[in-house]
Structure 1
Amino acid sequence: MLKTASKTMRSRMLVALVAIATSLGLVTVVGGAQAAARIGGTQVGLEQFWINGCGMPKVKVRAWKRPGNYKTVIMLDGMRAQYDYSGWEINTNIQEMVRSGVNVVEPIGGPASFYTDWDAPSNFNGQQYRYTWNCAITRSLVHALDRRGYRVGRSRKYAIMGLSMGGNASLTIGAQNRHNFDAAGSLSGYNFLSAPGMRTMIRLAMLDVDPKPWNVDSMWPIWGLQWFQNDPMWNIGNMHGMKIFVGSGNGLFGRYNALPNVFDDLFQGSTLEFLAFTQAKAFQAAAALSGLPVMSYDAVGTHSWGYWQDMVWNAKSRGFFR
């Protein structure tokens, strides 16, 4: 009897909270089947291939190319990257850029990797090999794309963009490999990794990524120089002459926050995005002081795919890939 009453009370509280959120304009109902319809939707120039993992298992890559396109962008995934498809293909339509000038390349896998070369395998979850994602992207992937004719446009260089952990990694990889990249974008990325408290925040986030938990000290030692070497803030000096795009939401609910996800969005998406927002603003302020122009995009929204899709299309419409 008590259990039934408790369940009823929780249900009523849920209904009440959703009703309040809806009345305040915090929740917008969107189609729940959006993600499932993405894969296979764009077949223009689609090819799949594998690249050397630099000591990791081979990395699967799915890419879209069309003759005459003026740019190729490498799109990096987020913390919960899967091994079947990139989250970009599952959850967005950015592959459609191939129809209007931009080739799209999506390396697959690497959950919690930060797309960097780790010091050691993660000993918390029995990882069998050391992540070497920086090598895989800057050497194996770039060389494979060169051989397949993806180095296009006037500059003959690539663009690189990513979301969340892939965002800050994109800025760092681009800045440290200027011979291959002339444009880099961070979407809800953590662009000031060496800021006070960030090591703890990253540590806690990685404990909850499957196959969990991941040990951040296996990635970069707690007081190691890697925290600075992989920090976009400390790489601003190498970004002059590049196109830089920084997008983030403000943590408030917007058009892509659907009813079924309201609690995840509130307790995870809002918190993560507000952190990314503060990091974006700190990075932009430091860039301005150093004379580095930054193309920015501020959204009313949380840490979720709809907003990242909009950011990519916004960058394209403003000439970021030109």
Structure 2
Amino acid sequence: MIGAGRASAVAHYRFHIGGCGMPATPVDMWAGYGNYKTVIALDGLRATSRTSGWAHQTNIAKMAYSGVNVVQPVGGLASFYTDWDAKSGNKVKYRYRWTCRLTKIIEELDARGMAVGRSGKYAIMGISMGGGAALTYGAYHRKRISHAFSMSGYISLASPGMRTAIRLAMIDAGIEAGVGPFNSDAMWGPPWSIRWINNDPVMQLNRMRGMKVRIASATGIWGRYNTDPIGSVKGTPLEILALQQAGIFQAAAAAQSVPITTDYALLGTHQWGYWQDMVWRAKNSGWFRDR
């Protein structure tokens, strides 16, 4: 238990989920008595095996004190939280099967009584790599997911250059992490494979009809959290690209008459402080509540 008073009804748990042909991975959860929703928060491309970026870089776990349980799976480096076609061929010696792993996490949450609220379903959200994954997982798992939220996500994979950009980003992330480059062909096949379409959030909009869907991005203009010049310079073009992707997704949703909500921040780059603020704006607007 942590805290006192109202806080005494909030607890932090860490449990491990195995199966799906992958090593067991940790899951951190902050849960409060009487809360009205549980959200699963997905990490970005450079997720580590130690802790979620959400736990290390933000305070969103505090939502458990005021209505929203927060679940943070650990791991998933360059995985796009999806089931891969094959092993990548680097030092990760198993095939990623994160769609399967997320389903097992939800089964564990169900067993722990975390399916709260009127719908008894979960919210899922993510940043960058995890943003598109949140929308896609939600679209295919409507029986357990009612809300899906992408922050600075790459959510129009058919846009010119996106598949090449993802290929290069996965190579870089693997090298930086010391496991060797990840091969995007091992994930969804070559760029012309149908699996790229099946995992493109824009292409799955019709599956999201009736869900609560939210997208958020900033402009790439520096603001209060740009205290690290090197990180800020790297984050600026990433956020500009994410903003373009959000615009494509929003236009496609409007064309298909799929209602969504948006959050476009005037200032912000591809950094955790801005994503933390996006989550709190969603929370304070009531977005996590069931209809």
TM superposition score category, shorter chain reference:
over 0.9
Quote the Cα distance in structure 2 between the aligned partners of 1:67 and 1:113. Answer: 33
Identity, % of aligned positions: 54
Quote the Cα distance in structure 2 between the aligned partners of 1:163 and 1:239. Answer: 19
Pair 1:134-2:99 in alignment: yes
State the partner residue of 1:64: 30
State the partner residue of 2:115: 151
Contact 1:53 1:133 in 2 (8 A): no
Match runs of 1:72-151 below 5 Å: 72-123=38-89, 125-138=90-103, 140-151=104-115
Contact 2:91 2:180 in 1 (8 A): no
State the partner residue of 2:196: 227
Quote the Cα distance in structure 2 between the aligned partners of 1:54 and 1:207. Answer: 24
What secondary structure, in the 3-state scheme, does the structure 2 residue paired with 1:191 have? coil
Considering only aligned residues, what root-mean-square deviation do their CA atoms show, in Å?
A: 1.4
Query: Which AA in structure 2 matches 1:257?
Result: N
Query: Which AA in structure 1 matches 2:220?
Result: G
Once the two structures are superposed, what CA deviation does each residue of 1:112-155 show, in whole Å capped at 9, x if it has no partner?
Answer: 000000111111x23210000001102x1111000001000001
Query: Which AA in structure 2 matches 1:264?
Result: G
Query: Which AA in structure 1 matches 2:80?
Result: F
Quote the Cα distance in structure 2 between the aligned partners of 1:194 and 1:71. Answer: 33
Quote the Cα distance in structure 2 between the aligned partners of 1:113 and 1:297. Answer: 26
What secondary structure, in the 3-state scheme, does the structure 2 residue paired with 1:56 have? coil
Pair 1:273-2:242 in alignment: no
Pair 1:251-2:220 in alignment: yes
TM-score normalised to the size of structure 2? 0.93
Query: Which AA in structure 1 matches 2:286?
Result: G
State the partner residue of 1:320: 287
Larger radius of gyration: 1
Pair 1:307-2:274 in alignment: yes
Quote the Cα distance in structure 1 between the aligned partners of 2:30 and 2:170. Answer: 31
State the partner residue of 2:181: 213
Shift of 1:77: 0.3
Query: Which AA in structure 1 matches 2:188?
Result: W
Once the two structures are superposed, what CA deviation does each residue of 1:266-302 show, in whole Å capped at 9, x if it has no partner?
Answer: 1x20111111000000000110111112111112110
Quote the Cα distance in structure 1 between the aligned partners of 2:180 and 2:261. Answer: 35
Contact 1:53 1:59 in 2 (8 A): no
Quote the Cα distance in structure 2 between the aligned partners of 1:204 and 1:280. Answer: 21
Quote the Cα distance in structure 2 between the aligned partners of 1:180 and 1:203. Answer: 31
State the partner residue of 2:137: 173
Shift of 1:249: 1.1
Quote the Cα distance in structure 2 between the aligned partners of 1:62 and 1:218. Answer: 29
What secondary structure, in the 3-state scheme, does the structure 1 residue paired with 2:131 have? helix
TM-score normalised to the size of structure 1? 0.84
Shift of 1:213: 1.4
Quote the Cα distance in structure 1 between the aligned partners of 2:222 and 2:15. Answer: 38
Contact 2:218 2:269 in 1 (8 A): yes
Query: Which AA in structure 2 matches 1:131?
Result: Y
- Which is further off, 152-161 or 218-227? 218-227
- Which is further off, 248-257 or 84-93? 248-257
